[in-house]
Amino acid sequence: MKVILGILIIVSLSAGQVNYSSQIQPIFNQNCTGCHGSNGGLNLTSYAELMKGGNSGDVVNAGDAANSLLVQRIDGTITPRMPQGSDALADSTIDLIERWINEGAMEEASITEEEPMPVQFEIAGNFPNPFNPSTRIVISANREVEGSAVIATASGRTVFDFGNLRMNPGANSLVWQGEDNNGRRLSSGPYLFIFRSADQILSHRMILLK
Ligand code: HEC
């Protein structure tokens, strides 16, 4: 069990996605919006405005930081380098913007396999997986955690609701019968177990086989 948790924590750190509103917008607020406000041209005051682009068109090419005018202007590939008239942004700040664009330049980070630290609970796995007809989902918590859990399809549609749950310190198990809340058997395929607490969302992929 310790080994499994160790692996999950490593996965969680590398899967941590850049978040637009808490990590990228503040960079623009601090360095750019003084000039790039709402008085014409490129507006950097929100995600929606940024994605509208500037006089040259799109400045973000989702998935391709190197070919995004935004990056070319802050790394100086295209001059004048931004922020105009000030020192260049720190390399680490430029890296962060590049990472955000290369991850798809999304407004909301998509749900990752595990959220970063502080670890309060982990989904240790579901047993068996693939499964039929039922599976046991094991969640390890290092303290009491309240939250709610659902089963969703791969496209995010909720098919089963466990309601509100309280996890105790240690290993907690939940059994899912492969059915929706009306007792109907669901079809084969991948399903996501999603647990939400006040400050964490965890998801875990499971396969129902018939
Ligand atoms: C002191 C004012 C000023 C600041 C601060 C500033 N810019 Fe600019 N920026 C300009 C001006 C003026 C232009 C348009 C003229 C030009 O392209 O040289 C421009 C153009 C741009 C363009 C090209 C837009 C297009 O459509 O061609 C991008 C991208 C850009 N800025 C990004 C930024 C970013 C990102 C920041 C903050 C890190 C920033 N700028 C900070 C004044 C500023």
Q: So what's the pLDDT on residue 86?
A: 94
pLDDT digits (tens, 9 = 90+) for 7-19: 444 444 444 789 9
pLDDT of residue 145: 87
What per-residue confidence (pLDDT) applies to 11?
Answer: 42
Decide whether any atom of ligand 1 lies within 6 Å of the 97 Cβ.
Answer: no
Nearest-angstrom CA–CA distance, 49 and 44: 6
**Ligand 1 contacts CB of residue 30 (under 6 A):** no
Asked if residue 207 has pLDDT above 60, the reply is: yes
Please tell me if the CB atom of residue 101 comes closer than 6 angstroms to any atom of ligand 1: no
User: Smallest Cα–Cα separation from 197: which of 134, 151, 154, 144?
Assistant: 144
Ligand 1 atom showing the smallest separation from residue 89 Cα: 38
User: Under 8 Å CB-to-CB from 164, ≥6 apart: which residues?
Assistant: 146, 147, 148
Distance of CA 166 to the CA centre of its chain: 24
- Condensed to tens digits (0 to 9), the pLDDT of residues 149-159 reads 999 998 889 99
In the reported structure, the alpha carbon of residue 199 is separated from the centroid of ligand 1 by a whole-number distance in angstroms of 36
* Cβ atoms of 190 and 206 closer than 8 Å: yes
Tell me how far apart the alpha carbons of residues 29 and 23 are, in angstroms, rounded to a whole number: 11
* Centroid of ligand 1 to alpha carbon of 74 (angstroms): 9
Which residue is closest in CA terms to ligand 1's atom 33?
A: 82
Give the tens place of pLDDT for each residue, 134-183: 999 999 988 888 999 999 998 889 999 999 999 888 899 999 999 999 99
CA 82 to centroid of ligand 1, rounded, Å: 6
pLDDT 10s digits, 17-32:
899 999 999 999 999 9
Q: Could you tell me the distance, in angstroms and rounded to a whole number, from the CA of residue 84 to the centre of ligand 1?
A: 6
How far is the C-alpha of 16 from the C-alpha of 181, rounded, in Å? 32
Would the CB of 55 count as within 6 Å of ligand 1? yes
